[in-house]
Amino acid sequence: MKRIVFLLFSFALLFNVTTASAAREGTVFRRVDCEEKLIALTFDDGPHPEKTEKVLEVLDHYDVKATFFVVGQNAERYPEIVQRCAEKGHEIGNHTFTHRYFNRLSALEAENEIKKDSKLLEALTGVPCRLFRPPGGIFDSASASLASKAGMKTVIWNVDTKDWAGESADNIFKNVTKNACNGSIILFHDYTGNKSHTLEALRLVIPYLLNEGYSLVTVSELISRSNAAG
Residues marked as catalytic: 44, 189
50 by Cβ neighbours in 10 Å (0-12 / 13-18 / 19+) ranks as exposed
CB within 8 A of 64, min separation 6: which ones?
41, 206, 210, 216
- Kindly state the DSSP code that residue 99 receives in the 8-state scheme: -
Q: How far apart are CA 44 and CA 211, in angstroms?
A: 25
* Kind and range of the H or E run holding 38: strand 38-44
Kind plus residue range of the DSSP H or E element containing 70: strand 67-70
